[in-house]
Amino acid sequence: MTRCRTFRYRLHPTVRQALALSAQLNYQRELYNAALEERVGTWKWSHRSISYVGQCRTLTGLGDLRPEVLSSGVALCRGTLKRLDRAFAAFYRREKNGDTPGFPRFKSAQRFDSLQWEDRSGWKVKEADRRLYLLGIGEIKVNYHRALRGVPKAITVKREGAKWWVSVRCVDVPAEVLEATGREVGLDLGVANLVATSDGDLILGEHFGSRSRAQLADAQRALATKRPGSNGRRRQVETIAHLHRKVASQRRNTAHQLSRRLVNDYDLIVLEDLAITNMVRTPRAKADPDSVGAFLPNGAAAKAGLNRSIHDAGWATLASLLSYKAESAGRTVVRVSAHHTSQRCGECGHVDAGNRVTQAVFRCLGCGHEDHADLNAARNILRAGRARLALASDGRI
Ligand SMILES: [Zn+2]
């Protein structure tokens, strides 16, 4: 089986290299926009659509007219055309599903920040020399903070603010099967604590960037006071973008460390299936009795929604990292519906909404058993996961 993995590293280009990368971003943006125009024009003129392969064929003529666009290799230009092709594929797919998708857009300089090399030409990963070679740009210093594994297949170079990163997509990544530990764990997604484990650990949401989130809220408020078009406003927008990246990177780091620890420690990891849980917890729409077809506010406040989406994003990152690390380590991950897991007593199995006294305290109305609410839920999730595995091994599901 071919295992794919993406490794992301910080690049440290010289001033000259950074300028060359920025110039190449501009050339590729021009190519992207020209190719988009070609697709739109052909459609309007003759109701034909141009394929990715068709657009790639026109690249050969570019060598004489615009050699600088091809200076980092034809693989980079193909990567740019592939991106446009994916944008169109997504557009058609959403349209087919009956959504109202936005048509692929022309990219401004702010919205075009990555270079993708589609195959293995025009670049070379030189891990031993701590360099990345890019055709037409040179050998860029790289911080390979962890070893690359497998065979590098494609790369993406991305600009984020003043920083540059490379993502290396590898195939044939060898599995690293870990020895069994004989331990199993259930994880509950809490609101105050991001994760509660059935072994009694509470991992605080603070580590998922809530401190930066507070700074972010302040920065957003400050933005509202800036005059449109002013330098102050532009600087504030940059500050906000920087904080967003900081929150995302804190979340990613925590998720990496936590998933590694869990996969090392446990043979079986049971998680709640967020897709199912979300269906259950969506607030019901409240019809307005005074006007037909209208709805009243149903208490699903915008702020709560935002908090939840940030929270869910953290959880989704953790869940996906857990899945791929577990697969590579030979561990089992089971997802279960979290329905009733917060109302069910971990001791006697009594289910009652009144069991949950407060956000944090669980007290069973049946047997009087008392516990931290999230830990109680995590134990129920582990039990549900074990039951599911037992059914699966009986062949009943
Ligand atoms: Zn009980």
Which pLDDT belongs to residue 293? 55
Task: Assess whether 289 and 353 both reside in one domain.
Answer: yes
Distance from the CA of 269 to the center of ligand 1, in angstroms?
Answer: 25
Q: Which residue has the tokens 């297949």?
A: 153
Count of all residues that appear for the chain in the document: 397
Kindly state whether residue 179 falls inside one of the protein's structural domains: no
The residue range of the domain holding 93 is: 5-171
Mean pLDDT of all residues in 74-102: 89
The amino acid sitting at 315 is W
Distance from the CA of 298 to the center of ligand 1, in angstroms?
Answer: 33
Distance from the CA of 26 to the center of ligand 1, in angstroms?
Answer: 64
Task: Assess whether 199 and 161 both reside in one domain.
Answer: no
Which pLDDT belongs to residue 55? 93
Kindly state whether residue 177 falls inside one of the protein's structural domains: no
pLDDT single digits (tens) 356-397: 888 788 999 989 899 988 899 999 999 999 999 988 877 766
Q: Which of 171, 192, 222 is the last residue of a domain?
A: 171
Distance from the CA of 347 to the center of ligand 1, in angstroms?
Answer: 5
Which pLDDT belongs to residue 277? 55
Task: Assess whether 65 and 12 both reside in one domain.
Answer: yes
With beta carbons less than 8 A apart as the criterion, state whether 395 and 209 touch: no
339 pLDDT higher than 80: no
pTM listed for this prediction: 0.68
pLDDT single digits (tens) 94-106: 888 887 777 889 9
**Per-residue pLDDT band at 131 (split at 50, 70, 90):** very high
Q: Across the chain, what does the average pLDDT equal?
A: 85
Which pLDDT belongs to residue 91? 87
Q: Which of 113, 146, 171 is the last residue of a domain?
A: 171
Distance from the CA of 279 to the center of ligand 1, in angstroms?
Answer: 27
pLDDT single digits (tens) 245-255: 887 787 788 88
What total number of domains does the chain contain?
2
**Per-residue pLDDT band at 157 (split at 50, 70, 90):** very high
Task: Assess whether 337 and 229 both reside in one domain.
Answer: yes
Characterize the bridge pairing of strands 163-171 and 184-189: unpaired
Which pLDDT belongs to residue 303? 47
- Percent of all residues in the chain with a pLDDT value above 70, rounded to a whole number: 85
pLDDT single digits (tens) 48-66: 888 999 999 989 888 888 9
**Per-residue pLDDT band at 11 (split at 50, 70, 90):** very high
Kindly state whether residue 380 falls inside one of the protein's structural domains: yes
Which pLDDT belongs to residue 128? 94
**Per-residue pLDDT band at 284 (split at 50, 70, 90):** very low
Which pLDDT belongs to residue 349? 87
Which pLDDT belongs to residue 280? 45
Mean pLDDT of all residues in 128-134: 96
CA atoms within 13 A on the CB side of 129: 9
Q: Give the Cα separation of 85 and 256 in Å (integer).
A: 32
Angle at 115 between CA 111 and CA 121, to 5 degrees: 165
Task: Assess whether 39 and 80 both reside in one domain.
Answer: yes
Distance from the CA of 348 to the center of ligand 1, in angstroms?
Answer: 4
